[in-house]
Amino acid sequence: MTILWDSDPTAAETYQFAVSDRIEVVEVAQMVTRALTANPSELLVIVGPDVDLQAASSLAEQVRSEQPAVSVILLRRRLDVAILGQALRAGFREVIASDDLTSLSNACRRSLEISHQLIGISGGAPVMDGKVVMIFNAKGGCGKTTIATNLGAYVASTGARVLLIDLDLAFGDVAISLQLRPAASVGDLVAMTGHIDAQGLASVVTGHDSGLDTVCAPSKPGEADRISAATVSEMLRVARRSYDYVIIDTPPAFSEHVLAALDLCDMLVLLATLDIPAVKNLRLTLDTLDLLGFPAVARIVILNRSDAKVGLHTEDVVAAIRAPIAAMIPSSAGVPASVNRGVPIVLNEPKHPVSQALRAFSDKYILGTSSAAPVSAGPLARPDQSLQEPKAHRRLFHKGVK
């Protein structure tokens, strides 16, 4: 199958003769990368003539870095020296006039021959990438950092290589939550942008006693402005080749850094709490993810402080966000106490209810070692039933979620 990035619904018919293969048409770059990740045997991507050249070049650079055996062919309505030069630098295998179907057919054949040769040189073994897990909510105070540090520490305790990245570049709390004194941060990768490798990444890593590796946010908020989305993307591409799991703590906003990370994210863990602003922001987040084309199957909702007695109930949350809750993390004074000690509660108090809930979630959704039912039980695991609770739904809407 050939992947065609084009917004024209008739594009597959236009190029079918030249490609001589089944064509999957996608409309955005994120869908190209996800199609390649889902189908490692795919070796050919064609970029349509009306796709923005800069966006197309960014995709070609990413594919060249992550999956060098994949061929990317660029179609343009006109060819000139500037286009050819930029395409060459980006790593396109061929650049073809969009109306020259014979040349496109020959380019596809040549490109696939090169791809097959590269696979043969590498022994046919695909490059296995680590799993990228992002923790997100568009509202502060939901416990993103606490969840991220505990999930990272627990997964690392199983023997996996885990990197926790603090992407809240202005006000990140990973370092202080784990009582780390980092000698370097994400900001030190700026000078390496374009040339970040495993050794460069290792130079900014700070280790925790649990075995968890971290890349901390800069100590000064102003340094965040120097860090580009390109630096974040490159850091993550290198990180996922160096670690089994990469966990990302985020700021409470869809910043350019968060969007860059989202393109490389395999699982998005969305936090909810039993307060109306958090639920409202979560529903807006889900709507935004739909617009961005981020697949619903890769989103998982955790309800943090799920037993808080604040007049809002779990069924209200499910009805408002129209999504199931995968895990419920109870409230406990032991959680801030563990943060103050710099020791994740999941390791310091393994029998604590919070620890048990986090471990169960990790085993099922991150490590994939548990075949048990989702952590949440009863109607919360069945969103269709939850959506049929009109009284709860009306109650939450009356309280302010519209």
Residues 43 and 138 in one domain: no
- Same-domain pairing of 260 and 360: yes
The whole-angstrom separation of Cα 263 and Cα 396 is 33
Q: What is the mean pLDDT of the chain?
A: 83
Mean pLDDT of the 242-253 span: 93
- Structure confidence at residue 257 (pLDDT): 92
DSSP element (H, E) containing 165: strand 162-166
Are 339 and 196 found together in one domain? yes
If phi over 0 gives left and psi between -120 and 50 gives alpha, with beta otherwise, what is residue 104? alpha
The whole-angstrom separation of Cα 226 and Cα 237 is 20
pLDDT number for residue 310? 66
24, with CB counted inside 10 A (0-12, 13-18, 19+), is middle
Q: Which residue has the tokens 């597959």?
A: 12
Return the CATH number at 338. Answer: 3.40.50.300
Enter the pTM of the model. Answer: 0.64
CA distance 142 to 121: 48
Q: Report how far residue 211's alpha carbon sits from residue 153's, in angstroms, rounded to the nearest whole number.
A: 7
Last residue of a domain, one of 91, 121, 151: 121
152 and 101 part of one domain = no
Which residues are 245's β-sheet partners? 131, 162
Question: What pLDDT does 197 receive?
Answer: 84
Indicate if the pLDDT at residue 265 is higher than 50.
yes
Residues 71 and 179 in one domain: no
- Provide the 10 A C-beta neighbour count for residue 272: 28
pLDDT, residue 370, reads 59
Q: Which of 222, 218, 250 is nearest to 236 (CA)?
A: 250
User: Bridge partners of 248?
Assistant: 134, 165
Q: Which pLDDT score is estimated for 20? A: 66
pLDDT in tens, 324-378: 888 888 888 888 888 888 889 988 888 999 999 999 999 999 988 754 443 333 3
Cα separation, 196 vs 184, in Å, equals 15
Tell me which of 98, 121, 144 is where a domain ends. 121
Distance, in Å, from the CA atom of 28 to the CA atom of 38, rounded to the nearest integer, reads 16
Beta 71-76 vs 213-215: how paired, if at all? unpaired
Q: Same structural domain for residues 92 and 156?
A: no
Residue 318 to residue 387: CA distance in whole angstroms = 7
Tokens at 12, concatenated: 């597959």
Q: Are residues 47 and 27 in the same domain?
A: yes
Q: What is the rounded average pLDDT of the residues 77-81? A: 87
Structure tokens at 340: 């103050």
Same domain, 111 and 135: no
Q: What is the rounded average pLDDT of the residues 191-205?
A: 88
pLDDT tier, 55 (very low <50, low <70, confident <90, very high otherwise): very high
Identify the helix (H) or strand (E) that includes residue 285. Answer: helix 276-292
Task: Render 108-123 in DSSP notation, one character per residue.
Answer: HHHHHHHHHHHHHHTT
Q: Are residues 142 and 256 located together in one domain of the fold?
A: yes
CA count, 13 A, side-chain hemisphere, 401: 25
Task: Indicate the number of domains in the chain.
Answer: 2
| Owning domain of residue 369 | 131-398
In a domain, 126, yes or no: no
Helix and strand totals (H; E) in the chain = 17, 13
Grouping H, G, I as helix, E, B as strand and the rest as coil, residue 370 is coil
Q: Between the CA atoms of 181, 187, 192 and 193, what dihedral angle is there, to the nearest 10 degrees?
A: 140
Phi, psi of 82 (to 5 degrees): -65, -45
Model pLDDT for residues 100-150, shown as the tens digit of each residue: 888 888 888 888 888 877 776 444 444 447 899 999 988 888 889 999 999
Read out DSSP for 192-259? GTT---HHHHHTT-EE-TTS-EEEPPPSSGGGGGG--HHHHHHHHHHHHHH-SEEEEE--SS--HHHH
Sheet holding 327-329, edge to edge: 206-207, 213-215, 162-166, 245-249, 131-136, 267-272, 299-304, 327-329
